[in-house]
Amino acid sequence: MPAIAARGLVKTYGKQRALDGLTIEVPEGTVFGLLGPNGAGKSTTIKILTTLTAPDSGTAHVVGHDVTRNPGRVRLAIGCVSQKISVDPWATGRENLVLHGGLYGMRPRDLRRRADELLERFDLKAAADRLTRTYSGGMQRKLDVAMGLIHRPKVLFLDEPTTGLDPEARAAMWTEIAALSRDEGLTILLTTHYLEEADKLASTLAIVDRGRVVALGTPEGLKSELRGDAVQVELAEAGDAMRAQRALERLTTEITAAGRSLRARADDGAAAVPAVLAALDAAGVAVLSVTVARPSLDDVYLRHAGRVFEEVAA
Amino acid sequence: MSTITARPEPMVRGQFVRHAGYFMTRGLRALLRQPMFVVITLIQPMIWLLLFGQLFRRIVELPGFGAGDYLDFLLPGVLIMTALFSSGWSGAAFVDDMERGIMDRVLTTPVRRGALITGSILHNAIVYVVQACIVLVTAWLMGATIGPGVLLALVAAILMVAGFASLSNAIALLARTTEALIGATQLLVLPLMFLSSTMMAEQVMPGWIATVAAYNPVNWAVVAAREAMAGTVDWLHLGLLAALTLLLGFASTRAFRAYNRSL
């Protein structure tokens, strides 16, 4: 039985179709990444799976229970960490944890022990009895995740867990998340618009665009689906893009242009560079830089969604 | 569109009271940690008594007003007014929680929605009792007569607190912004107060206001409290208030469904 199974989810807000037949299946004990730009439907998917809202059509099961028919069962089994840090600023870290755990019906003694354990694990012990409004963003985020774990859930939902964190806090959070799935056998559904994050944490990845899954696989598998290396050319003049594209047609494949930058694929990127430069020179196109990279998730996204990731994410 | 209903599960069944207690404690704790709010909360009810007590002191001299001392007449009114002003803001805590994402986090737990409302009502009721004590002590120092009937007057006021806090919470869940909540509360509180015998005896009101007042729950509470202070039990108005409070409590619990649908 998969930990999460969503089939054909549709959700519209007014005229906006947030989800358009989204289907995913997450095996127990894995980290599943939903990757896509803002507005792709990631958060809506999480809201449905965590029983906050109902889909217009489609079904969703979490740990075997239907989210609309049996939300109580689902709620007992899941932990949720939303996009926004949601801790009570007028309560201490410990009070936040204990109140939240109490809502799951945990026994007071077990609850106290579990709160201590999590405060220790997330390195919040020294700050445990301070009001959380005095915490840094990184500390609040850690408490946020700790609250999601207080009742030992089977499935943890992390909606953009590192958005708004500085690079150091982000790296620390990645280490924590990786450890959670490894040590506790927790199933994690993670949404992110950071390609690096998805690459690092998720064992299976679904690329979401306009409310549907456009690609599914392991990060490695998705990357190896792309033939060859990514070649990126920065042109001096955006007006040259068309000419440059034509000049490269025989040397590379999958050429796309966006403003002054051109992306293409070549079987052996390093070897292709001199030929690319020569061809552009012959066509009279001035070049600022040429870079060659192993395929990244960025390229995967570009290929499946037909757009460059950063542009939509911005 | 299907709706998500909240059926309690075995593990959290029978935890309603415990959960309501959590939310009550949380609200009181947050209040006590903000001394500025505590001061405002405590001073405001005194202002009504002192201000209106002085301003309208000679109103009893109006022919047909029917009360000997204005302070004695005003005191039950101020008790109800304090209930109204204090609980009208109840929804603000809900809006804060929505804005901070705390509401959504709580709604992903198996907690009963009614426990959230009940916790909020208990919190408001406790704050109110403290405020009422300040009003009563101030009034007593000013020479008001206070008998054992005051306890029943407090019952009427607490019913008012429960009903109005529920209404405020329901508005918060439906409107979801502080601005809308403030607007709606302002729109309700002042007219409800002036269309009642809070400050003015029914005998000297314009006829149409007296008619409206007969259907105004705030007036039911004021009349019941005034009767109680005078030593009689006004079963009709107390009963109407209790029924309305239950209705509003139920409606605010249902308002969570509308909130969920809007997510």
Question: pLDDT tens-digit profile of A143-199?
Answer: 999 999 999 999 999 999 988 888 888 898 899 898 888 888 899 999 988 878 888
Question: pLDDT tens-digit profile of A241-282?
Answer: 888 888 888 888 888 888 888 888 888 878 888 888 888 888
Out of B5, B12, B101, whose CB is closest to A84? B101
**pLDDT on residue A310:** 53
**DSSP E strand stretches across chain B:** none
pLDDT(B19) > 80? yes
Residues from chain B that touch A50, judged by Cβ atoms under 8 A, are: 108
Instruction: Name the phi and psi angles at A27, rounded to 5.
Output: -70, 150
Residues from chain A that touch B107, judged by Cβ atoms under 8 A, are: 51-52
* Contact predicate B26/A99, CB 8 Å: yes
Q: How close A253 comes to chain B (CA, Å)?
A: 44
| A71 has a chain B CB within 8 A of its CB | yes
| Sole residue written with tokens 């061809």 | A279
Mean pLDDT, range A115-121, rounded to an integer: 96
- The pLDDT-based confidence of B56 (bands split at 50, 70, 90) is confident
The larger pLDDT score, comparing residue B161 to residue B186, is at B161
Q: Which of B155, B130, B161 is nearest to B46 (CA)?
A: B130
* Contact predicate A104/B11, CB 8 Å: yes
Query: Residue A62 in 3-state DSSP?
Result: strand
pLDDT(A314) > 50? no
Q: How close B262 comes to chain A (CA, Å)?
A: 8
Query: Under an 8 A CB cutoff, do A99 and B22 touch?
Result: yes
Sign, Cα dihedral of B130, B132, B136, B139: positive
pLDDT(B13) > 80? no
Lowest mean pLDDT among A42-51, A126-135, A255-264: A255-264
Q: What's the mean per-residue pLDDT of chain A? A: 89
Q: Which amino acid is at B176?
A: R
Query: How many alpha carbons fall within 13 Å on the CB side of residue B211?
Result: 3
- The structural architecture, per CATH, of the domain A4-223 is 3-Layer(aba) Sandwich (3.40)
Question: Which residue of A19, A44, A50, A52 is the best one to mutate when testing the B interface, meaning the one whose CB has the most B CBs within 10 A?
Answer: A52
Out of B6, B102, B263, whose CB is closest to A71? B6
Q: Nearest residue on chain B to A95, judged by CA atoms?
A: B26
Q: How close B221 comes to chain A (CA, Å)?
A: 34
Q: Which amino acid is at A248?
A: L
Out of A76, A87, A88, whose CB is closest to B9? A76
Out of A67, A72, A88, whose CB is closest to B6? A72
- The structural architecture, per CATH, of the domain A227-294 is 2-Layer Sandwich (3.30)
* Contact predicate A144/A158, CB 8 Å: no
Same fold, A4-223 and A227-294: no
